[in-house]
Amino acid sequence: MVIILPVIYENLIEKIGIYVDPNSKVRTAAYAFYGVGFSEEIAKFLILRIFFFKKKFNNEPINAIVYAVMVGMGFASTENIYYIYSSDTPLSTAIVRALTAIPAHAIFGIFMGYFMGLAKFTYSFKRTRLVAIGVVLAMLLHGIYDLILFIDWGNIWLNVLPAPIFLLILMVFSIILIIKAQKRSPFKKRKKWLKKIMASKMPEFQEKLHNLKEDLRRKRAEKKKNTRTKPKKKGKTD
C-alpha cells in the first residue's frame, strides 16, 4: 500500500527527465532527493500520520519510532521483492539489500519517528515544526544515501565503502535518539513511584516507620502530661 504513491510519482518524474543518468551527476542527485527520498518518506509519513499519530496506543515517544520503523520495514520488504525478482543475480541482490536497504529504511524511520514522538507530547503550536523537521531530515538522509549508491565515483572502494560507513554513522545517532526517546517516557516516573511503594513494604522500612510513630506518640503523651500537671496561675486580687 505504502509503495504505490512513490512508484507512480517516480514514474512521472522519469518521464519529465529526472532519472539516474550516468553522464549527469546533477540529474542523478535530483532523482535521489526529489524522486526517491521525497516520495518514499512522504508516503511513510502519511501512513504514520493517518493510522498511528492520534491513536490512544501511541502513548509515549518511543512508540512513534517503533511505528515508523515498522512502516519502513514494510516498505523495504515490498521494495526488496521487486528488486530480487527483477535481478539477474537474485541471491546476491538479496544479500546486498539485506545489509544496506533494510537497515537504511529502519534508520530513516527512527529519525522521522523521534521527531513525531516529540510532536505528540508537546504544545500544539510546536507540533508542525517538529513533524516537518523529522520528515525533511528523513528525506535528506534518504537522498544522500541514494546519491551515494547511484553515482559511479570512478573507484571500486568509493563505490562500495561510503554507503556502509554512512549507515554506521547514522546508526550511532539512531541509538542516541532511541535512548533519548525512552528517557522521555511518561511511565518512567510511575516506575520510580512504584519502586518507592514496593520499598515501603520491606520489613526494615516498616520497623523504622513503627519506631518513628512510637517516638511521636511518646512525645505527645509527655507533652499532654506536662500540660495537666503544670500549676495554674492565680488571678489578680483587689
Determine the pLDDT at residue 232. 58
> pLDDT tier at 148 (50, 70, 90 boundaries)?
very high
Tens-digit pLDDT profile for residues 182-228? 988 877 665 555 556 555 556 666 677 678 888 888 888 887 777 76
Which pLDDT score is estimated for 103?
95
Query: What confidence score (pLDDT) does residue 196 get?
Result: 61
Instruction: Kindly state the average pLDDT of the residues 161-171.
Output: 95
pLDDT in tens, 91-102: 999 998 999 999
What is the phi/psi pair of residue 21, to 5°?
-120, 110
Mean pLDDT, range 175-184, rounded to an integer = 93
Whole-number Å distance between alpha carbons of 21 and 150: 9
| Confidence label for 238 from pLDDT (cuts 50, 70 and 90) | very low
Supply the pTM of this predicted model.
0.77
pLDDT digits (tens, 9 = 90+) for 104-146: 999 999 999 999 999 998 887 789 999 999 999 999 999 999 9
CB within 8 A of 10, min separation 6: which ones? 35, 36, 39
Asked if the model's pLDDT at residue 13 lies above 50, the reply is: yes
- pLDDT by residue (tens digit) across 23-74? 899 999 999 999 999 999 999 999 999 999 888 888 889 999 999 999 999 9
User: Residue 193: its pLDDT value, please?
Assistant: 52
